[in-house]
Amino acid sequence: MSPIAWSSDGRTKAPTQRERAAEDISERMALFTPEQPRRRLADLVLSAETERALQVALAKIQHHALLYQTWGLAQIHPEGRGIAINLYGASGTGKSFAAEALAQHLGKPIIRVDYAQLESRYVGDTPKNIAAAFDAARQHDAVLFFDEADSVLSHRVTNITQAADYGVNISRSTLLLQLDSFEGVVIFATNLARNYDPAVVRRILAHVPFTLPDQAALVRLWRYHLPPQLPRSADASPEALAALSEGLSGGDVLNCVLLAASAAALRGAGEVALADFSAAIEQVRRAKAEIGRDGLS
């Protein structure tokens, strides 16, 4: 709420247009609060291709002075202080984990943005919310993270038939302009990357694929998700569980551990048996087959 202003005769004075605009920007920025990241890159289980792509993207940030001053890249890319990274692939493969870990590695807070925070039924408000998200990231020197980014980066409407179509195009244009001027780190994550507008794709430097883990990666994922305090039978080793869970993601492995431990607690067992894990794996696998299907990246 705007502070009360008083005129010289003691009566209240209505806020000016500039004051109302400043209040509106402040209220919108308050929607986007920074968090301290808790994930670490060291805990992220990735394929060699994905890990290499992330390291190259980080190098652009960490070696900016060398690249742009010593090696002269500023001559061909003078606006190059910012970077946009796109993490794409099936759900549960570690994209959100990676975004948080990247922020932690850079020593910055992270601001998470979802479409519900941006969308407004009033034409013109969504672009203002997008600008406010970037302003909040500037204010807090935070990594800006758009999860399920296809909702904000999809193709612009070419056959405009209603005001909402016009609003979509304005929102996309606003996002492109913000990306061009932003000097920080923006991370997008999606499992529907084919829906991205081509103009957005061009403005994103690093497109990093996240794939389902192979057997070696599954072993590492099971090791990570089995706390030392969790009692389990000797035959429920990470290697045995990885052999049973081919085709599952890291997020699926987490769900399997939670389900198996819950089943053991329900029957009053002193440890989680291999059968508990097997049943959990089959439950998760069946759900993926019968209830939902990951989008194509």
Residue 241 and residue 106 in one domain: no
Distances (CA, A) of 3 to 15, 275, 296: 8, 64, 51
| Same-domain status, 84 and 224 | no
DSSP single-letter state for residue 83: E
Q: Which helix (H) or strand (E) element contains residue 158?
A: none
In this structure, are 276 and 195 located in the same domain?
no
Cα–Cα distance measured from residue 103 to residue 111, given in angstroms and rounded to the nearest whole number: 10
Q: Which helix (H) or strand (E) holds 219?
A: helix 215-225
- 243 and 188 in one domain? no
| Predicted local distance difference test score (pLDDT) of residue 11 | 58
Backbone angles phi, psi at 224, to 5 degrees: -65, -40
Average pLDDT, the chain: 87
pLDDT per position as a tens digit, 58-94: 999 999 999 999 999 989 988 778 999 999 999 999 9
130-179 pLDDT tens trace: 999 999 999 999 999 999 898 888 765 555 555 555 567 788 888 989 99
Domain count, the chain: 2
Whether residue 88 sits in one domain with residue 163: yes
86 and 192 inside one domain: yes
User: Which of 210, 230, 265 is at the close of a domain?
Assistant: 210
The CATH number given to whatever domain includes residue 235 is 1.10.8.60
CATH code at position 185 = 3.40.50.300
With beta carbons less than 8 A apart as the criterion, state whether 155 and 200 touch: no
pLDDT band at 291 (very low <50, low <70, confident <90, very high): confident
Task: State whether 36 and 64 are in the same domain.
Answer: yes
Residue 278 belongs to domain spanning: 215-287
- Assess if residue 147 is contained within a domain: yes
